[in-house]
Chain A
Amino acid sequence: MSTRLINFTLNGQPVSTAIEPHRNLVELLQRFDLFGARESCGQGLCGCCTVLVDDKAVSGCLYFAVWVDGKSVTTIENLDADGQLSPVQQAFIDCGAFQCGFCTPGFILMSQQLLKEHPNPSDDDIRHYLSGNLCRCAAYPEIIEAVKQAAKAGAKAPA
């Protein structure tokens, strides 16, 4: 199958690769040994595949890889690029906001976006904003606590 050459920024680094047009963003990231975005439901319903494209959260399983051409892609693996966990990551640890950890990167990226838009979210804001992410271990009460703690810590999404 024919491929297309795409150039994009991946976690701050310019990269290029040739990829078939039917591949999704999760598959593209796997080529770069990034496995934090995970395809689970395959329908954009669970949020396990969440990736930031130009600072906006997208479902990597429904997002064609070629669409990132010319764009900037940020994955969970970049949040501690300076060696420090982000406040949201730290809050997830402090509040025990995960069990198996499979959905956790998606929740953390969405929570960062939430706090960027609503620095002081109510419980309802949090529930509404994170309703597109599912957690089968059902760490939801702890996730809500974690988002509130991160908000208190003055969490900022990565620029």
Chain B
Amino acid sequence: MKQVGREIPRLEARAKVTGRAEYAHNLRLPGMLYGKVFRSTVPHGRIRSIDTQAARAVAGVHRVVTGDDIRKLIPEPYYGPAFHDQPILAIDKVCHVGEPVAVVLAGDPHVAERAAHLIDADYEELPAVYDEIAAMHPDIVVHAMLKPAGTNVALDYHLRRGDADAALARCEQVFEHTFKTQQCLHVPFEPFVAVAEPADSALTIYTSNQTPSFVRSEIARLFGWPENRVRVKVPYLGGGFGAKVYVKLEALVAALALMVRRPVKIALTMEEQFYMITKHPTTFRIRSGVGGDGRVVARACEVFWNGGAYADIGPRVTQKSGFTSPGPYDIENVRIDSYELYTNRTPAGALRGFGIPQLVWAYESHTDLVARALNIDPVAFRRDNILRDGRPQASGTAMKDAGIAAVLEAIAARMGWSERKFDRGAGTIRRGRGIAIGFKASISPTTSVAIVNIAADGSATLYTSTSDMGQGSDTAYAQIVGEVLDVEAEDVRVVHPDTDVTPYDMGTLGSRSLFHMGNAVRLAAEDARTKLRALAAEAGLPQGTNYPPAEIFKKRYGMQAGNVIGSASFVPTYKSPDPQSGLSDNVTPFWMIGGAGAEVAVDIETGAVRVEKLINAADCGRPINPAVARTQLSGAAIMQLGFTLSEIMHLDGGQVTNASLADYKIPGIRDIPPMDNILVEAEQHSGPFGAKGLGESGTFGVSPAIANAIHDAVGIRMTELPITAEAVFRALRKQQGRALEDA
């Protein structure tokens, strides 16, 4: 291998360090209007009236638009990747604080903002429901009109493998625990931004988005247009993390631009991001039955996903991540009941792991508790129960190229788990260590298409609709093309998503790009290489000789002219789960494995937890660019560290009271513990040159590894995230029989 495996800097490195990289954030077009969104102040209510008179009277305001105006343009202005349930602007009612109700358009964003403050909406407030368990009881129904009516359950997924209930009844040792996670969010530093530019019977959308092909088809569907009238262009993203999947601002700017026949830009503030999309809060009840030999023989999982006011991609989280709820263990009898619930919160969707970190939090905390109760070493207990290649996962799909044991052993070895004498601290500082592993199935079924164009001078250009949001996809793809065509990766040009030019891709999400698009890129490059050889034959060049491409073109066309265009699609096989049992023997094209080991020091006087060492490991297949792969692992783990120790959206009456980086604490440079990041290399046979996706794996184990370490240190079990000093202090006081009264 000449190009695959090279640790080259990102292709766009120079553009990024000089501040010249292109983001949608930067875009300004002639005649462009800025939109400022007026948002609901109530969590649930019927709209009685919207008074826009004062806003319209502000000098410089071009127009004020409400849901009624949108409906004149689009009779059914509802969008969404799972259900078409989300209105472009609120119609008749609002379902969460911050829901867009009206938009002011002006040439100056400050004017638009000032005018938006003058809009007044009158609501008939309705009772609201915020908690996912409360939402299971249909006293308060978020959507009366939606399917299914009369309930908040947007989707329920059930899996039955063996007979978990009967097996649990037979087991002498049964353990049951409940774990919860909080609402938190992505916080991309380039906040959501989109620009729509109308033309004659067509529309161009420039957006910071991870799914340009979906945006195109969804906007076309809303307008009743063929797809080829909608062009979606995506430059670099200033972070995505799952926030910028599917339609976010795009339908709104598209409708506005068509209405006023001018380009329209909407760029959210940091505060507004707290009302766009978040990570699911969850409640997970997990019950395991263990046999006398320390083997888990049955597991029952009930998972309640708090999806907020609109479904977004939540129903797919519930199912596609739901079937991994029992964890990476070989369990004969499994029952999974997974529910996606509507509540009156900001919608929840995909966030770096697509629900997996919430699941791992519960099953690895539970696994640790079970091992402790049985007095079995937590690593040995995992080792004895682990899913090994060839064995069926709960869904019935056999594990393949899944380095679960390898990841576990790599972490244990790096921690010196068995051999090292661990310093348990003394006095008010107590130390402990914990370990956790998790896994994820890549989303399926999905399609990726790539085009490789070889110009007459032999230079290669790659066209894909993958959004590079920092994961390094441009660079990895260039290395793949370079490997196939025997050129330097740095010399491959990668064209960014432009749906008039770049072919279809399901989306840059779920760590799927390197595997799916990477395969398509490899096949497209191979197709180009085959066609180049055919061209050489046409030109009468002897077969089997290695003429430089430029020579072949010159010979064939008599001058430096022509192109060779290779294209390919990659669509892995898939079998939909049986609607009754939830089982499928081909549920995913590849498995992601990640884990963490944590050493912590707990101050028993204050509850402060200091992570003294964090070891992250993931099965990365055979990495295309190990340096970039390591930063993905490290970055994912640090992000999850924030979700573990500090990040939480506080609500008061549905209003987020800490919608700012001042009060919503993300990890800073002083919060980073000493870390070891281990790429566990294990060939993914179906991946491009053995590679697989890695963007999320680093998140899996962090939270439970830390909770397990805290338990090891001070004997308390944290069952809710985030694990703040206050929460630990309260738990310590409870342990001492001196619980704080206001708890």
Contacts and interface: CB of A to CB of B under 8 A. Distances in A.
Interface in A2-22: 22
B631 to A, nearest CB: 5
A136 interface: yes
A48 B239 CA distance: 13
Contacts of A22: 110
A35 B18 contact: no
Nearest to B632: A99
A101 B20 CA distance: 10
Contacts of A136: 186-189, 239, 241, 639, 666
A99 B237 CA distance: 10
A103 interface: yes
B627 interface: yes
B18 A99 contact: no
Interface stretch (B94-102, B247-255, B563-571, B667-675): B667-675
A141 B187 contact: no
Contact of B19 (A40, A75, A130): A75
A49 to B, nearest CB: 11
Q: Which of A126, A134, A138 has the most chain B CB atoms closer than 10 A to its own CB?
A: A138
Given A38-B238, A85-B17, A100 B669 contact: no
Given A41-B270, A136-B188, A79 B670 contact: no
Given A42-B269, A140-B672, A99 B19 contact: no
Nearest to B267: A39
A39 B380 CA distance: 50
Contacts of B639: 136, 138
B442 interface: no
Given A48-B189, A85-B17, A100-B470, A138 B238 contact: no
A76 B19 CA distance: 6
Contacts of B191: 40
Contacts of A131: 668-670
Interface string A75-119: 111011000010001001110101111111100100000000000
B634 interface: yes
B660 interface: yes
Given A43-B662, A100-B236, A138-B639, A36 B20 contact: yes
B17 A137 contact: no
A85 B14 contact: yes
Given A102-B189, A102-B190, A141-B675, A45 B635 contact: no
B470 A101 contact: yes
Contacts of B190: 38, 40, 100, 102
Interface in B672-727: 672, 675
Contacts of B202: none
Contact of A103 (B186, B189, B632): B189
B21 interface: yes
B670 A127 contact: yes
Contacts, number: 155
A135 B14 CA distance: 18
Interface residues of A, number: 51
Contacts of A80: 18
A25 interface: no
A66 B728 CA distance: 48
Contact of A141 (B14, B660, B672): B672
Interface residues of B, number: 54
Interface in B1-54: 9-10, 12-21, 23, 25-26, 28
A144 B191 CA distance: 26
B638 interface: yes
B661 A137 contact: no
B469 interface: yes
Helix, strand, loop or mixed for chain B's interface?
A: loop
A138 to B, nearest CB: 3
A133 interface: yes
A35 B19 contact: yes
B162 to A, nearest CB: 41
A38 B628 CA distance: 25
B247 to A, nearest CB: 21
Contact of B9 (A42, A94, A103): A94
Contact of A108 (B17, B187, B631): B17
B471 interface: yes
Contacts of B12: 101
A139 to B, nearest CB: 6
A102 B672 contact: no
A100 B9 contact: no
Contact of A104 (B17, B469, B662): B17
B20 A141 contact: no
A101 B669 contact: no
Nearest to A89: B17
Contacts of B269: 42
Given A103-B189, A134-B661, A136-B639, A40 B270 contact: yes
Contact of B669 (A36, A89, A108, A144): A144
A139 B660 CA distance: 21
Contacts of A143: 669
B238 A100 contact: yes
Given A35-B19, A48-B189, A93-B9, A100 B237 contact: yes
A116 to B, nearest CB: 18
A79 B18 contact: yes
A139 B662 contact: no
Contacts of A38: 23, 25, 189-190, 238
Contacts of B670: 127-128, 131
9 contacts: A34-B19, A35-B20, A36-B20, A46-B189, A76-B17, A77-B20, A85-B18, A100-B189, A100-B237
Interface of A: 22, 30, 34-38, 40-43, 45-46, 48, 75-77, 79-80, 85, 89, 92-94, 96, 98-105, 108, 126-128, 130-131, 133-144
Given A38-B23, A75-B19, 4 more contacts: A99-B469, A102-B190, A103-B189, A104-B17
Q: Which 9 A-B pairs have the closest CB atoms?
A: A36-B19, A99-B470, A100-B470, A102-B238, A101-B16, A138-B638, A76-B19, A35-B26, A105-B19
